[in-house]
């Protein structure tokens, strides 16, 4: 039975527009101009317990708004949502104790106090038993290797260290569901890898359901078997990452290194030239014709190396967002 169910979720805002300057301010007191923003526009999906789902989309797609509705921060304009059998925006404490929301750009730790103080505060808020708190804390501290930092003021920690502490604070009550909104934003590549490994381990060890939004495709590629793509408030795709390639990329890329120089015009009849830096050429050909085209090129030209590859997932996603054909 799904742990999260979303049916035709809509969240529309009315945003006020104001002309600049003092006259604009006075005018807006008497006559306000509004425009409608359809942040989420009829999104439906369900998530099973223990799934680790990636939620991707360009800026303003509606990812964070959806996450905020699921965690009860926002009331939807219409639609039904059920998380752990609760209606999130009723904000029942029994529901709130079972999930956690980590937002990469917002922190819950008290800035001037050591992280340990915030953990103890969360322990009281979430009513975590002493022994459970100790065991969970010890485990998380070991996993994230932050034992020496527990008594250091949060404002003295680096961004990466702070994100680790944020994760611990979010997980101290062992939530069943974790909403992660861009958890690796601003982190260096090493720290990003550590965070991903931790999230993967946590999901595997505790069977926690995780819904992750990110702009970094590496987060989604490494962590999520299932991806939901959202754009302009609408759900574009829901399935395995590999299915994105089949659905949106009906072409393959032939990367050829020639032993001798080749004219670009001689290759144009085989497909779309994506890159021409002699002796290396990249040609895009229709998926079903790729083997045949490769054979013809091998026959006709002096080829040193030839690779048939899928388009990069980042390129596919980019093209999906910009509405272009992936070719």
> Nearest approach, Cβ of 75 to other proteins (angstroms)?
6
> Nearest approach, Cβ of 135 to other proteins (angstroms)?
21
Which stretch of DSSP H or E encloses residue 217? helix 217-223
159 binds other proteins (CB under 8 A): no
Contacts (Cβ under 8 Å, ≥6 apart) of 156: none
Nearer to other proteins, 73 or 308 (CB): 73
- The 8-class DSSP code of residue 311 comes to P
91 binds other proteins (CB under 8 A): yes
- Which listed residue (61, 103, 235, 244) binds other proteins by CB under 8 A? 103
219 binds other proteins (CB under 8 A): no
33 binds other proteins (CB under 8 A): no
- Which listed residue (22, 23, 36, 105) binds other proteins by CB under 8 A? 105
106 binds other proteins (CB under 8 A): yes
Contacts (Cβ under 8 Å, ≥6 apart) of 122: 108, 128, 169, 172, 173
- Which listed residue (5, 50, 58, 73) binds other proteins by CB under 8 A? 73
For strands 280-286 and 272-277, give the pairing: antiparallel
- Which listed residue (68, 164, 226, 252) binds other proteins by CB under 8 A? 68
b/e string for 205-244 if b means 16 or more Cβ within 10 A? ebebbbbbbbebbebbeebbebbbbbbebebbbbeebeeb
User: The tokens of 49 are what?
Assistant: 């317990």
Place of tokens 């045949």: 292
Binding site for other proteins (CB under 8 A): 13, 16, 60, 64, 68, 71-75, 91, 93-97, 100-101, 103, 105-108, 125-126, 181-182
């Amino acid at each position: 039975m799904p742990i999260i169910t979303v049916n035709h979720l809509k969240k529309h805002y009315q945003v006020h527009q104001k002309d600049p300057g003092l006259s604009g301010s006075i005018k807006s007191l008497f006559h306000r101009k509004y425009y409608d923003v359809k942040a989420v526009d009829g999104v439906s999906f369900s998530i099973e317990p223990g799934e680790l789902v990636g939620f991707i989309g360009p800026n303003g797609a509606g990812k964070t708004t959806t996450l905020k509705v699921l965690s009860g921060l926002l009331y939807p304009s219409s639609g039904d949502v059920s998380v752990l059998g609760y209606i999130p925006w009723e904000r029942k404490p029994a529901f709130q104790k079972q999930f956690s929301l980590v937002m990469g750009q917002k922190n819950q730790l008290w800035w001037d106090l050591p992280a340990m103080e915030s953990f103890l505060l969360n322990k009281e808020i979430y009513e975590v038993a002493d022994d459970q708190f100790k065991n969970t804390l010890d485990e998380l501290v070991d996993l994230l290797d932050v034992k020496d930092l527990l008594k250091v003021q949060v404002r003295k920690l680096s961004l990466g260290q702070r994100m680790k502490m944020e994760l611990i604070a979010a997980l101290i009550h062992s939530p069943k569901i974790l909403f992660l909104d861009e958890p690796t934003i601003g982190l260096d590549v090493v720290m990003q890898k550590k965070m991903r490994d931790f999230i993967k381990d946590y999901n595997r060890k505790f069977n926690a359901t995780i819904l992750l939004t990110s702009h970094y495709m590496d987060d989604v590629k490494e962590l999520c078997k299932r991806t939901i793509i959202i754009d302009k408030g609408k759900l574009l795709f829901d399935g395995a990452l590999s299915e994105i390639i089949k659905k949106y990329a009906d072409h393959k890329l032939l990367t050829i290194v020639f032993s001798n120089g080749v004219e670009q015009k001689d290759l144009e009849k085989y497909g779309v030239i994506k890159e021409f830096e002699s002796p290396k050429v990249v040609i895009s050909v229709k998926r079903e014709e790729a083997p045949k085209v490769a054979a013809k090129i091998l026959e006709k030209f002096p080829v040193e190396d030839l690779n048939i590859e899928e388009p990069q997932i980042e390129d596919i996603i980019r093209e999906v967002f910009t509405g272009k054909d992936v070719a």
